[in-house]
Each structure stands twice: as C-alpha cells, then as structure tokens.
Structure 1
Amino acid sequence: MNSKRIRISLIAGTAAVGMIALSACSAAETKSSGDGDEITLAQPNWAGAEANIAVAKKLLEDELDVKVDVTQMNEAAAFKALDGGKADALLEDWHGNPNELKTYVDKKKSVVSAGELGVQGHIGWYVPKYYADKHPEITDWKNLNKFAKDFKTSESGDKGQFIGADPEYSQHDTGIIKNLKLDFKHVPSGSEAAQQKEIKRLYAAKKPFLTYWWTPQLLQNQIELVEVKLPEFKEGCNEPADQADCGYPQVDLEKFMSKDLSDGGSDAAKFLKNFKWSNKDQDAVVSYMKVDGMKSDKAAEKWIKENKSTWEQWIPKK
C-alpha cells in the first residue's frame, strides 16, 4: 500500500442512512466460495456507501444474474469479514483503518485492492460561512483559541465545543485538540443523522459552531461551510490517533475484495473492479435518496436509466 492508506474516516455520507434490505440467506452464515455466482457486499454506515451498493447490486443482478446480499458493517469489520469469507467486497474505503490494511492486505494478503472508486473524499474542520465572514481569522487553526468562548455550550463547560462525528467513523480530532493545545472539548454527536440535525439547528439560528465534516456530502449543497486550515497531513502524523497533530488529506476512495473473489475471475469480480464513477454520479444517487425521498433501489434504477454510457463500461465483455 502507498501513502493513500493514510485516510481518516468517513466521510461520503448524508443524513440517516436507509438500510438496504438484507437477504434472508446472510453471508455471515456461510463462507464465501469466491465463484461470483452469489456475493455479499459490505455497506458502511453513510449515504455515499449506500449509493455505491444500490447501483452495483442492481446492475449485478439485472445485467449479470448475480445474487447479491448486503450487510451493514463499518470498515474495520468489513476487512475482517473479507478475510473470513463472510463478505466479498467493500466498495468504499477511506483508508482510516491502517491496522486492518496492514494485517489483511499487506501481511495475510487475504484481502486485495479492487482499484479506485473514482470518488475523492476529504475530512476537515468547518465553521459556518456567516461566522467566518465576521471573523476571517478563524480559518487558521492558530487563531481558534482566540474565539473559543464563542463556541461554549452547556456540554463543553468553560471550553469551546467541537462537534465530533459518529464514534464509529475513523477520526483523530481528540488528538488534534490535545496536541495543538486547543481550548475546545470534543463532544461526539452519536451518529451522522444527529450531527447533521445539530448543524442545521445551529445554522438556522445563525449561531457559531465548529465541527468535523467531509466531502462529498450533500449538506454542502444546502448550507455554506468554510474549512479551518489545520496543520498539513503527512503520512503517519495521525498514528496513533491520540498523538495526532495534523489535519486530514484528500483521499482517492478505494475498493477492496477478498482474494478468493478477485482470483476467481468471475464476471462479478470483473464488474466490481471496473466499477468507477465520479463525485457527481454518487451525489446524484444520494440526492435521489435523501432529498427526493426515493428508496435506494429506485434511486439506483433512475441513475442507471440516465447514465448507460457510464455503467455499460463496467459490464465484462464476453
């Protein structure tokens, strides 16, 4: 693995993730054969990951007659499942679990890269634009302590509140706060939905807030956020997380699959390796789901109907 491994977390999600129905025949019950006739896709808990799965599942089933099961799990659990034959592929990894990558990709070699997803992700610290317009200095982390009092809440006491992400997301914000000696308290949001709800509440009230957030994320189309520049990310600067003293990088999101599936040469494996789309494509499906209220399969169907020239390149040639 190269320096791309340095990822952070989560990222491409939006609002509460709608659960894709799980098959009654869960892959967690039987070890994958790797033949590609029936596969299990691991779905992390954010909307971008849901969009990937929805489109891949429909095309695999409709175009290649592959039976697809879907099970929700975070990235770390997904690597273990790929190693143990409980899942076959993970379509969006942000390189936020270096231990799992070292164990299963580098050492055991039971999990292999399936190539880049085509989506670029970035995590950072953000404040609302209306606050940055009044206090332009806030966009440099060195000035955060000057304004900490503006971010105090009942939960943060005498410190400014930093709105943290879902605890399952890979992150090193508590390390940043401690090691950069920032006068802020990390307050976890509990979930992406809860975090987004709180951000929208504060934004509507025109109150200041400092939060972990990421792109691509549909929220940026609804409200204006400005990134606070943190120290430049360098490989290893966030390991271990409690010693982190840097920000987050731009990440080319990556796909992974079990070595058994990859080596099997099935149409399913070829399709998953070919599956590559843009931030714009993923955002479109997320918008259908989270703005238009479409179920994931219907959102996938709409995107597929409108983008044949993109997805037909993913179908293995006979």
Structure 2
Amino acid sequence: MARTRIRLSAALLSAGALLAATGCGAADMTKQASPYANARGAKTVTLSVQSWVGARANVAVAQYLLEHELGYRVDTVQVDEVPAWDALSQGRVDALLEDWGHPEQEKRYVQEKKTIARGGDLGVTGHIGWYVPKYFADAHPDVTDWKNLNKYADQLRTAESGAKGQLLDGSPSYVTNDKALVKNLDLDYQVVFAGSEAAQITQIQRFAKEKKPFLTYWYEPQWLFNEVPMVEVKLPEHTEDCAAKEPGDIDCGYPTTPLQKYLNAGFAERGGKAAAFLKKFRWTKEQQNEVAQMIASNGLSAEQAAERWVKAHPDVWRAWLP
C-alpha cells in the first residue's frame, strides 16, 4: 500500500521512547543492540510486539515455542509500527512478526540499506474498514453503502461527537485515513478516538449489549467479530492512484494486505534455529484469533494462552521447527 499501513505512530518515536513490554529480562533495549540469537553462543531473541492483540498473539506463541522447544531466552519490546522498522534496522530487535505494509520503509531498509530481510508471509490477510453492527445493518440494509451514511448520522450521534454522527476510532497514535475520508466524502461525522484498542473494544461491547447503533473503524483479523458480528460499510474502491495521494486528499477505502514478517538482516543470516523458526512461522487468522480471544476476552495471560494453544495444536507448530 503506497501510503503505509494505517495504524502507524502519529509521530516517529525516538529510540528513547521505545517501551519495554513483557518478556524475560528488563534490559533497556533503547540503549543497546539486541544480541543475535547464536552470536558467541548466546541464545537470546528480541521480538517487536505491537499494541493490538493479534500481534501479541503472534509473539506469545513464537516466544513460547522459542523458549520451550528451542531453548532460547526471549525478550520483547513494545514499539509502534514505523519506529519498529528503525529498531529492526539498528538491531535493537531481531524480528517483527506482523507488518501491514510500509513501502517507504521497505524500500529504505530492505532494498537500499539491506539492514532488514524479508521473513516471509505470516499467513494472515489484514483488512481495515468501517463497520456497523449486524443488527443495525439487518434493520437498515442501505447503511452498508457510504453514500447513505449521512441519512443515519442523527442515529449515530453521541455526546462525544456533538451534532454529528460518531465514527469511533482506536488510539490517537494510529494514523488513519478516517478524518480525510469524512472530509473528502462530505460526511456529517466526527472521528472520536477511544484511546486504545482495548478501550475501543469496551465501547463496542457496551453498544452491542444495549443494541445501540454504532459506526467504527475496525480490522480483520480480530477476535471481536466472534462476539459482536459486524458488517462492513462499502467505501469507494481502493486504488493505487488514490493511495498515492497526500494523506489529507485520500478519498478511497482501505486495501487488503497479506501480513508480512521481517528480520534484522544480521539476525536472518546468523540467527541459527531461531531465525529459521521465525521464517517458517505461519498460521491462519482463525488460529491467531483463537489465541487473541484467550488473551483479550478470556482473561488468560499471553503465556497461558500460548501454552494452551501450543498443547492443542502440535500438528500445526511442529512444521515450524527447524
């Protein structure tokens, strides 16, 4: 996609702003390079983990298998998408397991600098769009065409959106096309940020429990579809010409993106069994959603969810082992 995946950081974070997430070890990864997995006998891998639960599911399962099947220590670093490319290039992390398409970074680091190597397809196809709950779409079938959204703006008003209909987004740190779309499609809506993916899920669940209508930015794969069925609102067709426009001029929908893995180039070459395993790591959106739902909805820790999934699906993950 020419204008980058849509959940980017609003501003590039400096290295000092990278936040350490869960993992074995509490080293400040902003001040040192991550050791390559087999460098001088070390068996440590550092994985970048994004804030949405699907990405956490990838890392949880990869971490569990690296530790319990291959004998590595795994550190994780939580970092937004564009800064993750910088960290990966500089060796502060070894692998990024779910990228939604950043052609500018790919050109800079993979093609030109050659400091990042492709790690292969994750096996999951990502898509971002606008959604309404199925119960509202069933009652008002024409709401699924963007041209009819203004007809329902009054029903979709909230205290936060004022006199306009509400388009619910997640974290304000995610750069989306939604404000541009509202403006360029002349829609009587206000983009309202929930604050995070978790907060957005909570609001969607509350609306659904009360059977209230809502319009939300959302994405697949996402386990919440299992709990709250939603129907996509058809936006103008995504095209490469549209995606190439300046961000404020975007007037088309979002693309469908095969999600990719990337490795630090040095780690890809010298990372031994860990690098080989991460290149082979590939699963379906249903499998990812199974783990994500255990983490986000069933109250399990990431490690507990990964352990449960690993024990239930040896036929899947054994094919990933080098």
Asked if Structure 1 and Structure 2 have the same fold, meaning a TM-score greater than 0.5 normalized by the shorter chain, the answer is yes
SS at match of 1:282: helix
Identity %: 46
- Taking a change above 3 Å as real, the CA distance of residues 172 and 300 of structure 1, as seen in their structure-2 partners, is same
Match of 2:22 in 1: 20
Q: In the alignment, which of 19, 28, 31 is matched to residue 29 of structure 1? A: 31
Equivalent residue runs for 1:115-130 within 5 Å: 115-130=120-135
Equivalent residue runs for 1:182-193 within 5 Å: 182-193=187-198
Match of 1:85 in 2: 91
Question: Unaligned 5+ residue runs, structure 2?
Answer: 9-20
| 8 Å Cα contact 1:27-1:40 kept in structure 2 | no
Q: In the alignment, which of 205, 210, 227 is matched to residue 222 of structure 1? A: 227
Once the 2 structures are TM-superposed, how far is the Cα of residue 231 of structure 1 from its aligned partner? 0.9
Equivalent residue runs for 1:176-255 within 5 Å: 176-238=181-243, 239-255=245-261
Task: Determine the C-alpha separation between the residues in 2 that align with 1:233 and 1:22.
Answer: 42
Equivalent residue runs for 1:297-312 within 5 Å: 297-312=303-318
SS at match of 1:106: helix
Q: In the alignment, which of 153, 156, 159 is matched to residue 151 of structure 1? A: 156
| 8 Å Cα contact 1:26-1:69 kept in structure 2 | no
Instruction: After superposing the two structures, state which structure 1 stretch, 149-158 or 207-216, moved more.
Output: 149-158
Once the 2 structures are TM-superposed, how far is the Cα of residue 22 of structure 1 from its aligned partner? 5.2
| 8 Å Cα contact 1:28-1:87 kept in structure 2 | no
- Taking a change above 3 Å as real, the CA distance of residues 38 and 78 of structure 1, as seen in their structure-2 partners, is same
Q: Deviations over 1:254-303 (max 9, x none)?
A: 11111111122511111110000111211121222233322211211111
Match of 2:62 in 1: 56
Once the 2 structures are TM-superposed, how far is the Cα of residue 75 of structure 1 from its aligned partner? 1.2
Match of 1:291 in 2: 297
SS at match of 2:239: coil
- Taking a change above 3 Å as real, the CA distance of residues 66 and 26 of structure 1, as seen in their structure-2 partners, is farther
Q: Which runs of 4+ in 1 moved over 6 A?
A: none
SS at match of 1:125: strand
Does 2:262 align with 1:256?
Answer: yes
Task: Determine the C-alpha separation between the residues in 1 that align with 2:200 and 2:168.
Answer: 7
Does 2:136 align with 1:131?
Answer: yes
RMSD value, Cα:
2.0
Equivalent residue runs for 1:170-181 within 5 Å: 170-181=175-186
Instruction: After superposing the two structures, state which structure 1 stretch, 27-36 or 55-64, moved more.
Output: 27-36
Match of 1:16 in 2: none
TM-score by length of 2: 0.88
**Total equivalences in the alignment:** 305
Q: Deviations over 1:223-258 (max 9, x none)?
A: 121110001111252343221111112221111111
- Taking a change above 3 Å as real, the CA distance of residues 262 and 142 of structure 1, as seen in their structure-2 partners, is same
